[in-house]
Structure 1
Amino acid sequence: MANSKKVGAAALLATVIAIPAEGLRQYAYYDPPGVLTVCYGHTGKDIVKNRQYSLAECKSLLTAEMAEAVDAVDRCHPNLPVEVLAAFGDAAYNLGSTIACDKSKSTAARYLYQGKLIEACNQLPNWNKSRIGGVLVPLPGLTTRRSNEKELCLRGAA
């Protein structure tokens, strides 16, 4: 599969996880850690409070940002199976590429660089916390999301 096709397929799979995990809010809100967010988890500096975003705008943001996240993981690990790329792509969309690409901060990234895919997939549930009031707290939504990513990831790692 050509790289762009693989990234596209992985982005589509990742989006299937992201949409129910993020939910859709067309007005800006503050997520549990206090970050201004809109649509399907968009947290850019371009968010305008009290503005309604159209469904088309929200879908466009998700499509572009998910493709960027999956592409970032693919640049770190160009030979991942589609399902593994999708799982880590969704995690990168949600958390940033550190989870997959920064060996100094992520055991999952170290395993990916070593080609230990099952071990890397098994690390995903450890990334279910967010800092609230200065304390890392497990969030139920992140726990479910990481579980879904792990399940998809292990399918590709087998």
Structure 2
Amino acid sequence: MALTNKQRAGWCAIAVTLVGGFEGLRLAAYADPVGIPTICFGETKGVHLGQRATLDQCKAMLAASLQLANHAVDDCIRAPLPDYRRAALVSFAYNVGQANLCGSTLARKMNAGDVEGGCDEMLRWKYARGIYLPGLVTRRQAERNLCLVGAE
């Protein structure tokens, strides 16, 4: 589904705030809680420890990655998505990846019209590489709450 610039601006502004708030900004690469080299706003692809980035580079990476996450949402979710729900799903896809989103019970429930059940599925994603992360619990609760805005 093609989005207008106005529609894109709505979900994107929300997603930037959500992702940026939970990922934080680090201009020097670091090992995340499960040991994955990470930089900027949670970028991991091609990152190596010792790498540095500028704020402008980090903003560009975030914008590109959010667009990829939005494409993942478009590829996996066929249900109508108001801005808040799309932003929540984009944040989720940014964090877990397209394959995990597409193969999830969350996607199946959303596509079956079970918005509440789909949003609730986000709460199950609180582990990374089998390690329980309290930060993911907080993030998933925020994503779920945003996902449910306007749900009947």
Residues 1:115 and 2:113 aligned together: yes
Question: Once the two structures are aligned, what percentage of the paired residues are identical?
Answer: 37
Q: Return the alpha-carbon distance in structure 1 between the equivalents of residues 11 and 100 of structure 2.
A: 17
Indicate if the aligned counterparts of 1:23 and 1:40 stay in contact, CA closer than 8 A.
Answer: yes
Q: Return the alpha-carbon distance in structure 2 between the equivalents of residues 4 and 39 of structure 1.
A: 28
Relative CO higher for 1 or 2, CA cutoff 8 Å, sep ≥ 6?
1
Matched length: 150
Tell me how far 1:119 sits from its aligned partner: 0.8
- The residue that corresponds to 1:91 in the other structure is 92
Indicate if the aligned counterparts of 1:99 and 1:108 stay in contact, CA closer than 8 A.
Answer: no
Indicate if the aligned counterparts of 1:127 and 1:146 stay in contact, CA closer than 8 A.
Answer: yes
Question: Which 4+ stretches in 1 moved above 6 angstroms?
Answer: none
Aligned Cα RMSD in Å? 1.9
Could you state the TM-score of these two structures normalised by the residue count of structure 1? 0.86
Indicate if the aligned counterparts of 2:34 and 2:131 stay in contact, CA closer than 8 A.
Answer: no
Give unmatched runs, 5+ long, in structure 1. none
- The residue that corresponds to 1:73 in the other structure is 73
Residues 1:142 and 2:136 aligned together: yes
Indicate if the aligned counterparts of 1:7 and 1:74 stay in contact, CA closer than 8 A.
Answer: no
Give unmatched runs, 5+ long, in structure 2. none
Aligned with 1:129 (options 127, 130, 148): 127
Indicate if the aligned counterparts of 1:29 and 1:38 stay in contact, CA closer than 8 A.
Answer: yes
